[in-house]
Amino acid sequence: APFQFVSRHHRIIRNISTMKINRPALICPSLLSCDLARLHEEATQMIDMGADWLHMDIIDGNFAPNITFGPPVISALRSSLEKTKPHAYLDCHLMVTKPSFWVEPLRKAGASGFTFHLESEMPEGGVSAMIQMVRDAGMKVGMVIKPGTPVEELFPYVKDLDLVLIMTVEPGFSGQKFMPDMMPKVKALREKFPDLDIQVDGGLSPKTIDAAAEAGANAIVAASAIFGSDDRKGVIDALRAGVDSRAE
């Protein structure tokens, strides 16, 4: 049956059959929307409430119109979590012009995952060299595309990736509306690469999780939906339930 996405503002129906997911649900609160004066406490709370990864948006003000975290913040957070949450997964999404410049600093800072944009500038050797650079640094490697980039451009590289991220808003700021017309990209990836971790980022909430999960996403980035809620754990649980309901 086709999925149906409904919001208070509009109703969109897409003829996409429900995809089965054989990857675990990964709920990834985006700490850019937390109380940054209490970063350690907020990160710890997210893990205690069941979050799988801590999503860190690293934006250079050039690739996308915002300036956010950098290696010093990642390092400080890693150090602060070392005693109580030593296995915390710091999921770093690089919205930067030259991601190759950030590999070594983020390795030293303690990043767990390094997801870079296909649209950014690549080092000598191209995309494959960039992937290998991250892999050699000991981090999990992901690739992400903006809404305007065809998903087919990712296909040649997926075999070498741990994760693919489909942006469901334009990069830069949290609080934007979910773009359901990005779901055919997710479905195409899930059909072609059934064992891939597929992440979505932008406007995800209990109201939009069904559309993302039905298309095949299993890694869910949520920002204001979690940190703006009076029941943060309830939101995390609802996002997980949305993915789990499509599990094989």
Residues 95-109: tens digit of each pLDDT: 999 999 999 999 999
Which residue positions in the chain have pLDDT lower than 70?
1-17, 172-176
User: For residue 214, what are its two tokens?
Assistant: 């039905």
Q: Please work out, in degrees rounded to the nearest 5, the angle formed at the alpha carbon of residue 199 by the alpha carbons of 193 and 203.
A: 140
Q: How many CA atoms lie within 13 A of 108 on its CB side?
A: 8
Output the pLDDT for position 172: 63
Output the pLDDT for position 16: 52
- Region of residue 198 (phi > 0: left; psi between -120 and 50: alpha; otherwise: beta): beta
Q: What are 151-163's pLDDT values in tens digits?
A: 999 999 999 999 9
| Whole-number Å distance between alpha carbons of 241 and 124 | 43
Output the pLDDT for position 9: 33
Catalytic residues: 57, 201
Output the pLDDT for position 17: 62
Distance spanning both ends of the chain, measured CA to CA: 17
Output the pLDDT for position 170: 81
Phi and psi, residue 60, nearest 5°: -95, 0
| Whole-number Å distance between alpha carbons of 125 and 127 | 7
Long-range contacts of range 3-12, CB-CB < 8 Å, 24 or more positions apart? 3/183, 3/210, 3/211, 3/214, 3/215, 5/178, 5/180, 5/208, 5/210, 5/211, 6/207, 7/177, 7/207, 7/208, 9/177, 12/180, 12/181
Output the pLDDT for position 66: 85
Output the pLDDT for position 221: 97
